[in-house]
Chains A and B, each alone.
Chain A
C-alpha cells in the first residue's frame, strides 16, 4: 500500500467566508441579536438579491480586467420599461418582463459592440452608457415615480414560495424550508464525498479527515441556521430562488465550460488567448451582453420589490457590484476571481449595510465604513499574495 497523501486545507480560500461570519457575529453582539431575527435574515436576502445578481455578471467583466460602470443606469432603465408598460399600457406581466430583458440585452450588445468591434476601452464605453442610461430613464419616466405595480408582478421581488406551516414555539415553522435544507445537506455531503473519491482515484493529495469534517459541519450549520430562520418567518423568498439559480449557473459556466475558461485566458493574457484560437472580440461582446441581461433581471427584481419604477433606482449599484468582486478576491488586472468569491463579497457588503442600519448609523457613516472595508480587504489580499510570491 502506498502512503496516503494529505495536505492541509488552504485557509486563504475560506478567508473571506471567515470575515463574513466575523462581521455577522460582531453585529449580532452590537445589536443585541437583532440581526439574527428571522425577519432580518429574510430582509438580508431580499435587500441584497439584486447586488448578488449584478456581482455575478460583473465578475465576468472583472475577469477580463475591466468593469461595467453602466450597470446602475441600465437597472433603472429596465425597471422604467416595466413600470411604463404595466402602469400606462396595462400590458401582460410576461410581455413587460420580456421587454425589460430585451432592453437589457440591447444595452449589453451596444456596449459589447463598441468594446469588441471598435476597440473603445470598456471604461469609456460604460461611462457613456451610465450617463445615457440614466438620462434615458429620467426622460422616459419624466422624472416621476411610476407605480404602484400589480401584485402578481411584485411577487418576483417580495413574494414567497408556497409554505406548509406548523405551529412551533411561539410562532410557526415552514416545512418546505426544512425539506430544502435537508436536501441541500445531502447534496453538500455527497459532493464532498465524490470529490474525495475522485482525488483518491487519481492519486491526488486529500485533506485530513478532521479538517474536512470541521468544514462540513460549519457549512451544514450555516445552511441549517439560515433555513431555520427563513422557516420561522415566511418561508423561502422567490428572490432566493432566482439568486440561487443564477449563482449555480454562473459557477458552472466559469468553472466547467469552455466559454468560462476563455474568459479567464483572455483576462490572464489577451495575446496568448488570441494565438490559442480564442476569439477575444467575441468573448468581450458576450461578457458585456450578458451583463446587460443580468442588469435587466436585477431591474425587474428591484422594481418588483419596491412595487414602483423610480428614475433614481439603481444609483451606484455598479459600485456595490464592483466592490463585491474585489472583496471576493478577484484581481484588478483580470484573469483571477470566482463567482463564489463575488457572492461572499456581496454578502459582506450587505451584512455591513444591514447591521449598521440596525445599529442606527447614518448612511453617511455607512459609506465611510464600506469604503474602508473595500480598501482593507483588497490590501490584505495583495499583501498576503506578495508574501507568498
Chain B
C-alpha cells in the first residue's frame, strides 16, 4: 500500500455534453498540504465537489480511493462521516448564534436523543478553538461580533469537531488581509503537525508556495502536472506557467504612451464620521489629487478606511457629518446622492461585486446598463433597447467577457467575468474619474491581467483612476503614485520610483507611532 490518503483516478465529469473534468488524476499523500491551482473555471471546485459527494457517485466516471478503499459517496454526510470536510469560500456560519453553537452546527452535542448538552458543547468548543489558536475567545458571544479572519478559523474549528482527516479549503484567504492570511497559514502548518491532511485551493500563489508540500495544476479540466517541494521549482512564475500554459513574463502590463494631464479629481479636508456613532471619526482631513491619465493607488491594511473614504465621496453612500470639498475637472461639486456622483462623471466599482455590484438573477446586458440607463440609454424615461444591445455587445467584445451571449444570467459567470461586467457597467456611465475597489479580488491570474489592461486603457483615454487594493504587489505593479492610508488618514505619499512593500509598511508604522 502506498502512503496516499487519497487517490482520485481518471475522473471525468460532464455537464450536458461539456467535459468539466477530463481524466483528472489527483494523489494526496498522508499528512501533507496539497495545493490545487488553476484558473477560474479550470475545474478545481468541480473536482472537490466530486470528492465531497455533492456530485453523487455515478454522475461521474473514474474512482476515488480514500484510505485504501474505493468510495462511492452519495451525499456530503457520507464523505464527512469518513473524515473529509470541505470549507467553502462563502462561510457557512449563522451570524446570530454563539461561537460554540456554530462550532457544532449540524453536529450538535446531545445527551438524550435531541437534547443539547450545553456544558459539553462549551467545553469541547473551547478545545477546538484552542487547536486553531483562538483559545482566548469567549465561546458564548455571537459569531457576528468576530472579524472575518477569526470566523474563517472557526470554520476550521467546526471541521475539527467533525473529526476531520482530510480538510479541503476553498479560497480560505480570499477575504482576509495579509496579517490574517498569515495567521491562517500558520494554523494550517500546525494542523499538519497534528496529522491532518489539507487540500488548499487558492489564487494567492505566494501563500501556496509558502505553505504547501505539493501542487497539482489543473487547466481546462485536465491535470497538467504535480510539483513537489524540494524536487521542483515552487516559484510563482513556475506555477503560473503551468496554469496558463505559457510564460507570463510580466503580470502587470506596461502602460505606454499615456500623457498625464491636469488634476481632474481633488479632495480637500475630507472628514467623515461613523454612520452609527456620530463621535467616531472614520476619515480624518484627507487631501488628495489625481490627474488625467494617472493611476493612483490607495494602499493600507484592511480596515484602514479606504472603502469608507471612497463610498463617502461617492454620493455619501457611507457615514454621516461629512465635510470637505470634492472638485472634479476643477469645479467644486456637491455629490449628495449616487445619482449626483454619476451625473458628475464619478464612478465607484465596489469591492464586493455580488452584494453591491450585480443583480445576479439578471442578464449581462441589463447589468451593464444599470447605472448608465438614465443618462445614456433612454429618452424621456423610455429605454432604447437597440442602443443597449449594441453597447453591451461592444463591451463584451472589448473587455473579453466570456459568455454565450449578452442575455446570459450573470450569476452563472465566473468571478473574473462578473468583475468585467461590473467594470463595463461603470465604463458605460462615461466617467472621468473611476475608483476601483479591490478590482481583482478572488479572480484568476489571466483575468487579472485583462483587468489591468482595462485600467491601462482607461488611463490612456485620459481618465483619472484610483485603485484600492489590499495586495501590495498589485498597487506597486499598477499605480503611478500611491497614497498610504492608515486609520482614516493619509500616512504618506509615494511615487512610482519610491514605492515598495517596505516603504508602505514604514509609512503605516510611522503613522501608528505618531498616533500613540
Interface residues of A (CB under 8 A from B): 198, 202, 256-259, 261, 264-265, 268-269, 271-279, 331, 335-336
Contacts and interface: CB of A to CB of B under 8 A. Distances in A.
B360 A269 contact: yes
B383 A272 contact: no
B385 A268 contact: no
B502 to A, nearest CB: 35
A278 B367 CA distance: 13
A202 B389 contact: yes
Interface in B342-357: 342, 348, 350, 355-357
A278 B339 CA distance: 7
Nearest to A252: B382
Interface string B300-317: 000000000000001101
Give the 6 A-B CB pairs with smallest separation, nearest first. A268-B359, A276-B371, A277-B338, A277-B339, A269-B359, A277-B342
Contacts of A259: 381
A268 B338 contact: no
Nearest to B378: A258
A335 B386 CA distance: 22
B215 to A, nearest CB: 32
A264 B378 CA distance: 16
A202 B386 contact: yes
B424 to A, nearest CB: 13
B338 A274 contact: yes
B479 interface: no
Given A272-B355, A277-B341, A277-B342, 18 more contacts: A198-B386, A202-B386, A264-B362, A265-B359, A265-B362, A265-B366, A268-B362, A273-B359, A273-B370, A274-B317, A275-B348, A275-B350, A275-B357, A277-B315, A277-B374, A279-B337, A331-B361, A336-B361
A202 B386 CA distance: 9
A36 B237 CA distance: 75
Given A277-B339, A277-B341, A277-B371, A261 B348 contact: no
B240 to A, nearest CB: 32
Given A198-B386, A277-B337, A272 B317 contact: no
B358 interface: yes
Nearest to A389: B412
A202 B338 CA distance: 33
Contacts of B361: 268, 331, 335-336
B334 to A, nearest CB: 15
14 contacts: A202-B390, A256-B382, A257-B382, A258-B373, A258-B382, A269-B358, A269-B359, A271-B355, A272-B370, A275-B350, A275-B356, A275-B357, A277-B338, A331-B361
Contacts of B383: 256-258, 261
Contacts of A272: 355-359, 370
Contacts of B341: 277
B425 interface: yes
A377 B341 CA distance: 44
Contacts of A275: 314, 317, 338, 348, 350, 356-357
A331 B359 CA distance: 14
A264 to B, nearest CB: 7
B195 to A, nearest CB: 39
A278 B315 CA distance: 11
Interface string B377-407: 0100111011001100000000000000000
Contacts of A273: 359, 370
A226 to B, nearest CB: 29
Given A274-B317, A275-B338, A268 B373 contact: no
Nearest to B357: A272
B381 A268 contact: no
A245 to B, nearest CB: 18
- Between B337, B341, B359, B385, the greatest number of chain A beta carbons within 10 A of the residue's beta carbon is seen for B359
A278 B337 CA distance: 9
A2 B510 CA distance: 66
Contacts of A256: 382-383, 385
A88 B325 CA distance: 62
B370 A265 contact: yes
Contact of B360 (A258, A268, A276, A277): A268
Contacts of B356: 271-272, 275
A268 B354 CA distance: 11
Given A198-B386, A279-B339, A261 B359 contact: no
Contacts of B357: 272, 275
B385 to A, nearest CB: 7
A119 to B, nearest CB: 14
A259 B373 CA distance: 10
A261 B373 contact: yes
Contacts of B338: 274-278
Contacts of B390: 202
A335 B362 contact: yes
Contact of B359 (A257, A279, A335): A335
Given A271-B355, A272-B359, A279-B339, A257 B366 contact: no
A261 B371 contact: no
A257 B383 CA distance: 5
A230 B370 CA distance: 44
Contacts of A335: 359, 361-362
Nearest to B362: A268
Nearest to B355: A271
Nearest to A334: B361
A274 B337 CA distance: 9
Nearest to B425: A276
B446 to A, nearest CB: 26
A202 B342 CA distance: 30
B387 to A, nearest CB: 11
Contacts of B373: 258, 261
Nearest to B411: A389
A109 B412 CA distance: 38
Contacts of B425: 276
A296 B485 CA distance: 56
- Between B337, B339, B361, the greatest number of chain A beta carbons within 10 A of the residue's beta carbon is seen for B361
Contacts of B314: 275
A331 B341 CA distance: 32
A269 B361 CA distance: 9
A272 B371 CA distance: 10
Nearest to B390: A202
Contacts of A198: 386
Nearest to A262: B373
Interface in B404-442: 425
B160 to A, nearest CB: 33
A188 to B, nearest CB: 20
Nearest to A259: B381
A257 B381 contact: yes
A335 B355 CA distance: 15
B355 to A, nearest CB: 6
A202 B407 CA distance: 14
A334 to B, nearest CB: 9
Contacts of A265: 359, 362, 366, 370
B423 to A, nearest CB: 14
A256 B388 CA distance: 12
A83 to B, nearest CB: 37
A279 B342 CA distance: 13
A198 B388 CA distance: 14
Nearest to B348: A275
A279 B425 CA distance: 18
